[in-house]
Amino acid sequence: MLKSKVVLIGISGGIAAYKVCEVISSLFQAGAEVRVILTETAQRFITPLTVSTLSRHQAYTDTEFWQGTHSRPLHIALGEEADLCLIAPLTANTLGKLTHGLADNLLTNTVLASGCPILLAPAMNTEMWEQPVVQRNWQQLRRNSRYHSIGPGSGLLACDRVGSGRMAEPREIITKLQSLAYTQGQQDFKGKRILISGGGTREHLDPVRFLGNPSTGKMALALAQAASDRGAIVTLVHGPIAPELRPIAPDYKLISVVSADQMEAVIMSHLVESDIIIMSAAVADVKPVNYTAHKLPKQELPIELKLEPVPDILGKLGSLKKVHQILIGFAAQTGDIVKPALDKLKRKNLDIIVANPIDQPEAGFGTNTNQAIFINANEQQKTIESCSKLELSHRLLDFVRTVRVNR
């Protein structure tokens, strides 16, 4: 999604500047062309040599700006060349300048000389971040459609304070940049309420043993991110997912559940308010009839495990959905993926089904990529070749737009 894109990175003076090195390296590996501007204070934390080595391109500072040795004004050339811009860390000082249109260095001049979407990743001490003047600047700047934000999150800061002000993690910043590269900041789902289920459910026999599946929740997290980046109000109801996959400062609401019964209760409580429901969760089909509240000794484990069906959440949603609501299901299949998906589409009264193979390389559970065939209620199909789960999510939202238009 970032291949051949020119990404301009502005680094201002904060300790979180060291995290940007990973962002630069990841962008280069993704095929982007990276240009980096360091403010004077940023150079006290990382050097131009470091970022030029990682980006494989000259790093720019105020020295080059004021020397004027380039054939064209440097801020004009950099601004016109950029497809995307990231400012990280965004300090209180740079935030104030951007909010009021001030331009006294290469970075702020380049921002004013460019027209591309700008992603802001603030980072500062909690007391600084919570100052009314800083919050006023932040809210004012975010009302400008050019600017998009990520974070800050909460956690242990370099000042040993635990609180808000922590810069988003590099992987989260990369994901946000990928969305911006795809949408160019378009908010075509603004105000729409999207309910998403994801991850696998666990049906416990006792506190440590359960029936489950390999779902990691990566697809649902990508769906939530894509929808949120396009302006939707997103609620993600998910089964257990690895802590390292959870964003530190998500733009959407996360609700954690374990079993199918718990997922059903939460989904149903949010159904009425939702415009679009995307059921990507790998919900268990059956559960043990008997649950024991203490760990069963090995010798007491049943030789034959009695099972009973879990609630058919998707089928229930199909019978309850209103005319204005769009219901989307997933069908993870081996072999022929279209025929069983079509059957599920009609049987569950869905508007769209996403048929995806789990027997193909780099597709299905636990992978970072996926492939699918989208099918709507009119049996129109769209094949999506292997791509990142985030790109597949955006393509699904594009497909949803065709359903909305044709209604």
Catalytic residues: 159
User: What does the buried/exposed string (b/e) look like for 340-364 if buried means 16 or more CB atoms within 10 Å of the residue's CB?
Assistant: ebbebbeebbbbbbbbbbbeeeebb
- H or E element that contains 176: helix 170-183
Q: 335 Cβ partners below 8 Å, 6+ apart?
A: 359
DSSP state of 303: S
Pairing, β 286-288 against β 307-309: antiparallel
Query: With contact defined as beta carbons under 8 Å apart, do 237 and 252 qualify?
Result: no
Q: In what order do the strands lie in the sheet with 352-357?
A: 253-256, 233-238, 193-198, 276-279, 326-333, 352-357, 369-376, 381-388
- Tell me the C-alpha distance between 81 and 99, whole Å: 23
Give the pair of three-digit tokens for residue 42: 């940023």
Q: In what order do the strands lie in the sheet with 84-90?
A: 59-60, 33-38, 6-11, 84-90, 118-122, 147-149
- H or E element that contains 394: helix 389-406
Query: With contact defined as beta carbons under 8 Å apart, do 229 and 176 qualify?
Result: yes
Cα distances (angstroms) measured from residue 125 to each of 130, 160, 247 = 9, 9, 20
Cα distances (angstroms) measured from residue 61 to each of 18, 21, 22, 42 = 17, 16, 20, 10
DSSP state of 300: G
Single-letter amino acid code for the residue at 306: K
- The partner residues of 9 in beta bridges, in order of sequence, read 36, 86
